[in-house]
């Protein structure tokens, strides 16, 4: 059974001006997501600035998310690393905390071979019992998990069940769906490709857009799951300008700015991320107003 179907939010980690995690605001963001129909919370991913959290902070953020969510919807923890032992350690700790699944990004910077990726993911998966989603985002990691490797892992390793596909390569994702023959749960990792990937058999999205428009992102997925592909497509296209604005600078710079513009107080970014450029802020505000969330 899939960990979830529909729209899972890749939730931000709100911070104070001094960079410390703001747990009060984090509680508010979690409640906002649940109230507005989000189907799962993905904590400590790229959008959650996991790469600049210490291991202690990383686990504390996961712990807080599990506590506040209290079983109402699934919590999937990002526990990937470019060090296999670190990924295994974070995964074991997250399992003890009580998450429902794990998201493992491909090792960044190392540029492992496909055999290296297989060995890495298998080693981490063997250290836990939780269901695992792989995370393919070559634009950020410099490493592409090929469809054949994803299928091999899902067939060989019982608790590797699917992939967040953020390659942006629809041809590659179609090839994955074709050779997987149902053994891989595929989720879009790009908000502008929810409907295309669901049309190939995908189960939903792990979404940045959901941070600011949870009800709308859920509806895009739900309409498709309910068989109304035409309405799902209409909603996807309606959100396209905002999706693009949310990625006019590197994620999560724009989405944190968007939440701050909405009065949600997501707060500061950790270096090396920096404040959004004024021209891009103007573009983002315009897109948010046009979409009706500002």
- Which positions are catalytic? 135, 164
Burial class (CB in 10 A: 0-12, 13-18, 19+), 182: exposed
Contacts of 34 (CB under 8 A, 6+ apart): 69, 72, 73
What is residue 38's three-state secondary structure? coil
Share in percent of the chain as helix, strand, coil (round to 5)? 50, 15, 35
Contacts of 82 (CB under 8 A, 6+ apart): 107, 108, 109, 110
| Residue 54, phi-psi category: left (phi > 0), alpha (psi -120 to 50), beta (remainder) | beta
Look up residue 34 and give its two tokens.
Answer: 């649940």
Is residue 87 within 8 Å of residue 113, measured between CB atoms?
Answer: no
Look up residue 96 and give its two tokens.
Answer: 């003890």
Is residue 257 within 8 Å of residue 281, measured between CB atoms?
Answer: yes
Tell me the C-alpha distance between 43 and 40, whole Å.
10
- What is the CA 93 to chain-centroid distance, rounded? 20
Tell me the C-alpha distance between 3 and 253, whole Å.
28
Q: Is the peptide bond before 51 cis (omega within 30 degrees of 0)?
A: no
| Helical packing angle, 84-97 and 55-69, nearest 10° | 30
Q: Point out which residues pair with 165 in neighbouring strands.
A: 136, 188
């Amino acid at each position: 059974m899939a960990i979830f179907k529909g729209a899972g939010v890749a939730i931000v980690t709100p911070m104070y001006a001094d960079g410390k995690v703001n747990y009060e605001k984090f509680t508010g963001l979690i409640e906002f997501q649940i109230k507005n129909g989000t189907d799962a919370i993905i904590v400590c991913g790229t959008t959650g600035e996991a790469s600049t959290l210490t291991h202690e902070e990383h686990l504390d953020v996961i712990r807080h998310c599990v506590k506040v969510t209290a079983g109402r919807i699934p919590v999937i923890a990002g526990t990937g690393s470019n060090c296999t032992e670190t990924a295994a350690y974070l995964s074991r700790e997250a399992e003890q905390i009580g998450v429902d699944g794990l998201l493992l990004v491909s090792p960044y910077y190392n540029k492992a071979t496909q055999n290296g990726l297989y060995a890495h993911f298998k080693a981490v998966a063997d250290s836990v019992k939780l269901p695992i989603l792989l995370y393919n985002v070559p634009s950020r990691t410099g490493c592409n998990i090929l469809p054949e490797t994803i299928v091999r892992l899902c067939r060989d390793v019982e608790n590797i069940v699917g992939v967040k596909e953020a390659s942006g390569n629809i041809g590659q994702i179609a090839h994955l769906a074709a050779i997987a023959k149902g053994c891989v749960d595929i989720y879009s990792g790009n908000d502008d490709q929810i409907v295309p990937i669901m049309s190939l058999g995908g189960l939903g999205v792990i979404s940045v857009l959901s941070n600011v428009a949870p009800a709308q992102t859920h509806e895009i997925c739900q309409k498709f799951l309910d068989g109304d592909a035409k309405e799902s497509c209409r909603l996807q296209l309606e959100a396209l300008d905002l999706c693009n604005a949310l990625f006019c600078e590197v994620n999560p710079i724009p989405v944190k700015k968007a939440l701050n513009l909405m009065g949600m107080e997501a707060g500061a970014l950790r270096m090396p991320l920096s404040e959004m450029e004024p021209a891009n802020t103007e573009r983002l505000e315009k897109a948010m107003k046009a979409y009706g969330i500002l």
